[in-house]
Structure 1
Amino acid sequence: MADATTTRPLRADAARNRRRVLDAAREAFDAHGTDVSLEDVARAAGVGVGTLYRHFPTRLDLVEAAYRDSVEQFVAQADLLLDREPAGEALDAWVMGFVDYVVRKKGMAAALRAGLGDEAGEIFATSRANLEAAAARLVAAAQADGAIRTDVEALDVLRAVSGVCLAGAGAVDRERTTRVLRIVLDGLRWSADAPS
């Protein structure tokens, strides 16, 4: 399933409206779940409900687009961080951002599974591939800088971090989750100069 705007380029004003709807939807889904009133989403975006439905004909279309957008924005953070920070610090910051990322997308993922069934698998597979590619860029850069051990793969990092974040997502125990993520990051740095 894809939103109605993916087949042709949007005019600048339509693209701005679509962006505002997506931002408002993500905030509303974070705060109130995916059953939030779409009229409230349109109002928060500063557009009419007709504009929302023009871009996203169904609630599920909006949930899917918001989910994909969430993934894209988090993936993009990897490169932004690498541009601004030393590679080891960029990896640390991205990993610590995983907590909010997992909490944000959890409700949307459940709605997609419920609404799309097996078809949701393609969305999740694409998301995983994009996340793994971002993690690979961060890991390679951190290894090249000598900030983390060289025997670690991007998938190792993703599995460890995802597991920690998913375990803490139910209770949203940010303090404990953050502490455990710091332990994971310390493990990545252990013996960085002399990998085992």
Structure 2
Amino acid sequence: MPAARPQRADALRNRRRILDAASEQITANGPDVGMDEIATAAGVAVGTLYRHFPTKADLLSAVIAVDIAQIADDAEASLARTEGGARPVDEVVGFLHRVADATAHSHAVKAAAAGLGVPGHGDQTDEARAAAAVGALLAAAQRDGDVRPHIGVEDIYLLMTTAPSEHPEQIPRWLDLIVPGITTDGARDRK
């Protein structure tokens, strides 16, 4: 079987524009936004959109995959900062804040995907990267005595699902409520 041909630069640019436009349009207009509107916002013909994403479910799955990759990148960057001297507990709290903000932005996309029955984006590589980095962050904060020893990656994921994504202005209050539950001295962790 011959190797797959690499995509042309213009095809890659179109795909990126479509993904960006889909995320923006669904967030702004809700899950019922049409593929025509997404194509127009991306500045491509609807046929180009369908060549890249044959169904709306395919498009939403790809948008979610981009979001998950960004979360994994953020978790790895947080871990790298701890290796450079940052306090692990500050990085855990900062990560929670950034993910809550990102979820507030992409909530409509995730709701649309759930409504279409999209189970996920398939490849679990980025989920594994995120889990490994968050686990290492927690372990470092636990070694420092700043995060409760029973807190695990699954707890962080549970907390992320409770973030007030429809009310981003409440995210700081949400952090004020949850940080004391995961840290050994919650009052000092929001410095």
Instruction: Please give the per-residue CA displacement for 1:86-132, whole angstroms capped at 9, x wherever unaligned.
Output: 2322222210123233334433333333333xxx3455995995454
Instruction: Please give the per-residue CA displacement for 1:32-90, whole angstroms capped at 9, x wherever unaligned.
Output: 11222333322332333222111011222111111221122122211123334623222
Identity in percent: 34
Q: Which has the higher contact order (CA 8 A, sep 6+)?
A: 2
Q: In the alignment, which residue of structure 1 is the partner of 2:104?
A: 103
**Cα 1:184–1:125, aligned 2, differ >3 Å: closer, same or farther?**
farther
| Pair 1:173-2:174 in alignment | no
Q: In the alignment, which residue of structure 2 is the partner of 1:83?
A: 80
Aligned residues: 178
Q: In the alignment, which residue of structure 1 is the partner of 2:59?
A: 62
RMSD over aligned Cα atoms: 3.1
Structure 2 length normalisation: TM-score?
0.74
Is the Cα–Cα contact under 8 Å of residues 39 and 46 in structure 2 kept in the other structure?
Answer: yes
Query: If each structure's helix is expressed as a fraction of its own residues, which one has the higher value?
Result: 1
Instruction: Please give the per-residue CA displacement for 1:164-196, whole angstroms capped at 9, x wherever unaligned.
Output: x1xx33xx333434212233223333159xxxx
CA distance in 2, matches of 1:126, 1:178: 30
**Cα 1:175–1:113, aligned 2, differ >3 Å: closer, same or farther?**
closer
Q: How does 1:1-196 map to 2 (within 5 A)?
A: 9-84=6-81, 86=86, 87-116=88-117, 120-121=118-119, 123=121, 126=124, 129-130=127-128, 131-163=130-162, 165=163, 168-169=164-165, 172-190=166-184
Structure 1 length normalisation: TM-score?
0.73
Is the Cα–Cα contact under 8 Å of residues 132 and 158 in structure 1 kept in the other structure?
Answer: no
CA distance in 2, matches of 1:142, 1:80: 15
Structure 2: segments with no counterpart, 5+ residues: 187-191
Is the Cα–Cα contact under 8 Å of residues 88 and 142 in structure 1 kept in the other structure?
Answer: yes
Q: In the alignment, which residue of structure 2 is the partner of 1:4?
A: none
Is the Cα–Cα contact under 8 Å of residues 77 and 94 in structure 1 kept in the other structure?
Answer: yes
Partner AA of 1:63 in structure 2? L
**Cα 1:61–1:70, aligned 2, differ >3 Å: closer, same or farther?**
same
Is the Cα–Cα contact under 8 Å of residues 78 and 91 in structure 2 kept in the other structure?
Answer: yes
